Amino acid sequence: MNAKFFLVSGIVGGIVDYLLGWLFYGIIFKDQFPVTGEMNLVMIALGSLTLGLFISYIFVKWAQISTWQTGLQAGAIIGLFLAFYYDFFASAMKATTDINWQMMGLDIILTIIMSALVGATIALVNGKMK
């Protein structure tokens, strides 16, 4: 595995994820995802970086994905599974049994879109560094 490709594209992907999260969850859909309490931006940034490095690792180590089209597709699939995983467990941990299916569906769609764009960015960066 090329550590340079992994780190550079993972960091760029993390930055893209952070900015897309701010745009989607913080601006466009802020009324659908209300914040209770104070947000820890450091933890949000670390989460975004983790996603960028996770997708980058898959692309560099296992899949050799280096075109934005393939990165978009692979990122969307990764986002689909991550979104279902997260939303199912988040719903299970609530104090109530009422599940907001519309909010869950919107979160899944946003996660797929964001992961697809992060995947496309990571693949594009990998392709440019070759």
> If you average pLDDT over residues 54-66, what whole number do you get?
97
Q: Which residue has the higher pLDDT, 93 or 108?
A: 108
What does the pLDDT read at residue 98? Answer: 85
> If you average pLDDT over residues 82-96, what whole number do you get?
89
CB 124 within 8 A of CB 7: no
Tell me the pLDDT band of 26, cut-offs 50, 70 and 90: very high
Give yes or no for residue 46 having a pLDDT over 90.
yes
What does the pLDDT read at residue 97? Answer: 75
Give yes or no for residue 27 having a pLDDT over 90.
yes
Give yes or no for residue 95 having a pLDDT over 80.
no
For the whole model, what pTM was predicted?
A: 0.94
CA 74 to CA 81: how far, in whole Å?
Answer: 11
What does the pLDDT read at residue 105? Answer: 97
